[in-house]
Structure 1
């Protein structure tokens, strides 16, 4: 069954000729009424034009009515021309929708350093409204680049309001805000100040807890749009549901990392602070040594000890505990275990390490993937 957007939202997707493959590469979502919204963008100092423009609009605080996304070209490191092209995209989509350009957010993803083929982009935008419907699946597919599958998630609140999320991301992913594209759409009525106040922490616990390869993109962003058409909701229930959607999408991104064959999950407890717990978990997930061990089904827990130790998190080595797939392997000292049995358990689709740092009661969790030869192949051949 196809996934539909919450009431008031419609989407369109088409092949505009941006991707050489001829696949869908231009898409948009529009709301029939103004949306409150929250945004997080990459902290990269070489951020793309779409991030820079959206950040400026965010500071203004005006409502949003639409989102336009192109895939296949990041429009990053393209200077003043790239910024002008990005603005022209928003203006063109606003014109065909009869909304202000400043009510249109933009997002671009793909290869860095190439100018957009604006003749194709603008021609596509002109015809994009002809494709508008309530389906989310086509939009989720159109925003992909090296992803192997679309990523969607949804939650229905007790009031009947819905949250539908879509994301893309497979490589160039590391915690430094959003680490890919993530877009959530809801018909819940949510106060903008409350939404913006809660969003950074949600992003930190979800998309900033994903790492594939240690590299942060120029174009990363996460956005949530709320048009209020389902009426008021309990704020705390809504925020829990939004985090659940974001967490689901984050795990899907990690599992679909370039060349990945399995999801890597690291759960840290016993930390002094949540920030230190997340730092320890993230450092484990980005370690090439640990990722390689996971790929080879090697229960080399010493690589966990190494990663935790360099993460900056406080650790009491005498109280430190580590498990691999539920098997205790270290409790202040090495424990005996059946190496072959634990190795066999690591052949699962998800490999879970738990780590108790032994210095507090804070927790954090991060997600990554194994490191395979396929990752090198994908990125060695990316532009050629």
Structure 2
């Protein structure tokens, strides 16, 4: 359930409105602005057909300069739109900078929606002119305006000892697969943290959270994650902050997986006994993206052979004679097939909103976790009609 009372950390305000980009007429243009410069970290899609917003943000990131604001449109991805798309993306940042009286290069941009369509700049620029009128500390309007095929807004928050807060919002439902980030995910904090330390830790946090989510195996052109910290709550214990930030992002990642297009169940795969964390994550993600395993989850079929298959093709090291697999906590394989009540296990899967596979590869001590969802006929229906 959405938290209607959730507010941004001190010093942040946000606005959202309907600019006419979504055919539904729902809010589709939004911004977040900080009253002070922010330390920030960023990760963008690794797609080689990345959209204009990802490319521009990457350039700003390399400069190391602080940022003050973020502007987002939902409805048009502004990907595969050539030089005009890049100019339109820059104009979006410039327009928000002008109305907020901040530098254009202190504004991040993000666009999501249909690939290959140019932004309707008359609507975008007109909407940006009115965004300052809607500014408030309420978080839900922004979380709602960034949605596309999502069925619900996704938010998470935590308060640190001393009062500093981290508030996160995400969108994502389809075209979700690792190589970050295949969704939008933003975190805002009033903690004072060193930018270098934040950036050093961020890739690992992304790897264990948003890059551990897969819905359909397709990596987007447009999507990204960023964390902005304006320091207005003063210094915090850095390890505690980073742990809390990862917790917020983990929460958002699970919400994205649970809200996968057509999903009826969250799929969680926990892999231990791996040679390295990277191999554990690879094995877990491969299981979560397997159409065969996802279909079995949808049908509440405890077909553990599909787990063996997925782990094997992941390339992770495994000792099959020591390997163990459990479904909903029920052991089904331990170097050989185990006797278990398949009907009861199926009933456990059917009754649950989250289906969990625990796997031990039998070769080491490292572990990792990934999240996905079941594969339903509704997923096909949603994507068959996406632009028509």
For normalisation by structure 2, the TM-score amounts to 0.99
1:289 equivalent in structure 2: 292
**Which residue of structure 2 aligns with residue 350 of structure 1?**
354
The SS at the match of 2:284 is: helix
Residue deviations 1:177-227 (CA, integer Å, cap 9, x gap): 122000000000000000000000000000000000000000120100000
Query: What does 1:24-35 align with in structure 2 at a 5 Å threshold?
Result: 24-35=27-38
**What do residues 288-326 of structure 1 show as CA deviations (whole Å, max 9, x unaligned)?**
000000000000000000000000100000000000000
Q: Does 1:71 align with 2:74?
A: yes
Task: Spell out the pairing of 1:166-205 with structure 2 (5 A cutoff).
Answer: 166-205=169-208
Q: Distance in 2 between matches of 1:180 and 1:234?
A: 29
For 2:273, which of 270, 273, 279 is the aligned residue? Answer: 270
Equivalent of 1:234, from 237, 242, 258?
Answer: 237
SS in 2 for 1:364: strand
**Runs of at least 4 residues off by over 4 Å:** none
Out of 362, 368, 383, the residue aligned to residue 372 of structure 2 is 368
- Number of residues paired by the alignment? 384
Q: CA deviation at 1:46?
A: 0.2
3-state SS, counterpart of residue 133 of structure 2: helix
Distance 1:248 1:35 in 2: 23
Whole-Å Cα distance in 1 between the matches of residues 298 and 344 of structure 2?
Answer: 16
Q: State the match for 1:250 in structure 2.
A: 253
2:363 to 359, 362, 365: 359
CA distance in 1, matches of 2:106, 2:50: 21
The whole-number CA distance in structure 1 between the counterparts of 2:315 and 2:284 is: 11
Write the deviation string for residues 87-111 of structure 1: whole angstroms up to 9, x where unpaired. Answer: 0000000000000000000000000
Q: Who is 1:22 aligned against? A: 25
Give 1:377's aligned residue: 381
Q: Which residue of 2 aligns with 1:215?
A: 218
Partner Cα distance (2:223, 2:127) in 1: 23
Q: Distance in 1 between matches of 2:197 and 2:373?
A: 34
Q: Which runs of 5+ in 2 are unaligned?
A: none
Q: How does 1:98-137 map to 2 (within 5 A)?
A: 98-137=101-140
Q: How far has the Cα of 1:159 moved from its partner?
A: 1.6
Aligned partner of 2:13 in structure 1 is: 10
2:96 equivalent in structure 1: 93
Task: Show CA shifts across 1:12-67 (max 9, x none).
Answer: 00000011110000000000000000000000000000000000000001110000
Q: In structure 2, the residue corresponding to 1:99 is in which secondary structure?
A: coil
Deviations, residues 127-171 of structure 1 (Å, cap 9, x unaligned): 100000001100000000000000000010012100000000000
Using the alignment, how far apart are the partners of 2:211 and 2:254 within structure 1?
Answer: 11
RMSD: 0.4
Residues 192 and 231 in structure 2, CA contact (< 8 A), matched pair in contact too: yes
TM-score normalized with structure 1 length: 1.00
- Specify the SS of the correspondent of 1:358: coil
Deviations 1:227-251 (A, max 9, x none): 0000000000000000000000000
Q: Aligned partners of 2:223, 2:88: CA distance in 1, in Å?
A: 19
Tell me, which stretches of 5 or more residues in structure 1 are unaligned? none
Partners of 2:222 and 2:206 lie apart in 1 by 16
Conserved? CA contact 2:111–2:223, under 8 Å = no
Q: Secondary structure at the match of 1:346?
A: helix
Instruction: Please give the alpha-carbon distance, in whole angstroms, between the structure 1 residues aligned to 2:269 and 2:130.
Output: 45
